[in-house]
């Protein structure tokens, strides 16, 4: 008999993850979301809607979280009638958010004192991959906890990687996102330099995509951008700033003096300050238009 699973955070990524758990036969209870449509869809597929966080903790053997980051996770865990209050011996919390590993390890210790376990299992790829069950899961957990949750992770993942104990999954995700955010910042600045210097952007992309400058970030951002579409890379600039800020703290915590992380963070901080936080990665090039006083985006699709 599959274990009862709770799921908190059925937004753009969480909905697909939860839907795949249901499709693979896991009994699922979901918590209401500010946009209730995903909850209604999952209930129509066979999920049950829970009333409170504590109810999920008390009734579900495993509770998944897929929210924005550590402040939201901590509110769910430590809030009145939160997960910690309802935790019971033998239960497990799986945080699929992109969170601060220091916070994750502290939560794990507090859950352990109640006889419960913690795993961090952030994911990579896009919402469409979540719906298709093709995510990559980066896991930090004890061997015992990893073995327990592996069938659940397999329900929505194309690949599952166990990086080590609690906190290792979030650390790996931050390194991955730091590199990706760095690519995006470099690509956007490079396109802006081309615009400032009068170099053909399409020709530049053709060269980059055929050589060592090629990357998944380039192919997500630039072909759509060249047609004036700034939605090719479906990741919000504000979330990029959050992740790079977490990465900076993680690096400092392990004694690594990064020469690059602050430059990358400042790029996203400037974009958020200028009002681009809710926009997607290619809108970094809109920010550069302001800086150089020349058009960068071939067609202003967002106006």
Q: What is the DSSP letter of 10?
A: -
173 is known as an active-site residue: yes
β-bridge partners, 161 = 138
- DSSP secondary structure string, 253-302? HTT---SSHHHHHHHHHHHHHTT-TTSBGGGHHHHHHHHHTS--SSS-TT
Strands 5-8 and 62-65: parallel
Contact (CB, 8 A) for 61 and 90: yes
Token pair of 38, please? 């995903």
Whole-angstrom Cα distance, residue 149 to residue 137? 11
Catalytic option among 24, 59, 173, 220: 173
CA 73, distance to chain mean position in Å, is: 13
Find, among 297, 277, 276, the residue nearest to 229 by Cα.
297
Q: Name the residues annotated as catalytic.
A: 173
């Amino acid at each position: 008999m599959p274990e009862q699973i709770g799921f908190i955070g059925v937004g753009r990524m969480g909905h697909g993850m939860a839907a795949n758990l249901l499709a693979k036969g896991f009994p699922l209870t979901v918590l209401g979301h500010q946009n209730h449509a995903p909850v209604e869809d999952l209930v129509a597929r066979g999920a049950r809607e829970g009333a409170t966080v504590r109810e999920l903790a008390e009734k579900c053997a495993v509770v998944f979280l897929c929210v924005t980051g550590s402040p939201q996770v901590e509110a769910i865990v430590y809030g009145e009638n939160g997960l910690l209050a309802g935790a019971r011996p033998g239960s497990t919390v799986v945080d699929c958010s992109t969170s601060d590993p220091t916070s994750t390890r502290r939560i794990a210790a507090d859950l352990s004192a109640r006889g419960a376990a913690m795993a961090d299992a952030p994911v990579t790829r896009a919402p469409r991959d979540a719906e298709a069950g093709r995510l990559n899961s980066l896991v930090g957990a004890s061997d015992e906890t990893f073995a327990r949750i592996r069938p659940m992770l397999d329900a929505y993942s194309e690949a599952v990687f166990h990086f080590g104990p609690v906190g290792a999954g979030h650390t790996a995700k931050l390194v991955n996102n730091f590199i990706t955010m760095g690519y995006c910042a470099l690509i956007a600045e490079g396109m802006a330099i081309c615009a400032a210097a009068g170099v053909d952007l399409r020709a530049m992309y053709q060269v980059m995509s055929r050589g060592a400058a090629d990357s998944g970030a380039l192919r997500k951002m630039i072909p759509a951008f060249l047609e004036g579409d700034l939605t090719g890379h479906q990741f919000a600039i504000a979330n990029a700033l959050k992740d790079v800020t977490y990465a900076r703290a993680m690096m400092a915590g392990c004694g690594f003096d990064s020469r690059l992380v602050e430059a990358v963070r400042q790029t996203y901080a400037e974009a958020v300050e200028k009002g681009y936080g809710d926009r997607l990665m290619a809108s970094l090039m809109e920010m550069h238009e302001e800086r150089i006083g020349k058009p960068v985006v071939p067609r202003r699709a967002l106006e």
